[in-house]
């Protein structure tokens, strides 16, 4: 069920402390940690503690937590000194190469990112 922990979900296991992560920021409803395969000098992931497959499902089921997620992005970006600019990405669905179906914001920064992305 959306919102409940999924025992097969990698990010639910990180929330539960069953898999280690380099945690950078925590709130009652969110967790931010470094991506293990960084695509930029700074590559952070911000997730809700609750399991929802994508940002639309989260916003629909728990809109307050979706706002918490965005506030956590802003807080961790400031903490990691990304004030010059960062990119926020929600890969959504197979064709976008989403590989972990627990909503996560990629926060990318630390270099000139250019547009459109490669």
Q: Nearer to ligand AMP by C-beta: 40 or 70?
A: 40
Neighbour tally for 28: CB within 10 Å: 7
**Residues of this chain that bind ligand AMP (CB under 6 A):** 10, 19, 21, 33, 35-37, 45, 91, 97-100
Q: Is 6 exposed, middle or buried (0-12, 13-18, 19+ CB in 10 A)?
A: middle
CB of 71 to ligand AMP, least distance (A): 21
The yes-or-no answer on residue 97 being catalytic is no
Comparison of 19 and 113: residue with beta carbon closer to ligand AMP: 19
Catalytic residue among 25, 43, 104, 106: 104
Residue number closest to ligand AMP, CB atom? 91
Looking from the CA of 31 toward its CB, the CA atoms found within 13 Å total: 19
Q: Which residues are catalytic?
A: 104
């Amino acid at each position: 069920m959306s919102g409940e922990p999924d025992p097969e979900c990698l990010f639910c296991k990180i929330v539960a402390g069953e898999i280690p992560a380099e945690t950078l920021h925590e709130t009652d409803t969110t967790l931010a940690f470094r991506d293990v395969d960084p695509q930029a000098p700074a590559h952070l992931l911000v997730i809700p503690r609750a399991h929802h497959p994508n940002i639309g499902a989260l916003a629909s089921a728990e809109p307050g937590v979706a706002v918490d997620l965005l506030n956590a992005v802003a807080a961790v970006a400031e903490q990691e000194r990304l004030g010059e600019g960062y990119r926020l990405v929600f890969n959504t669905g197979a064709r976008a190469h989403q590989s972990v179906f627990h909503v996560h914001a990629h926060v990318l920064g630390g270099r000139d990112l250019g547009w459109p992305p490669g």
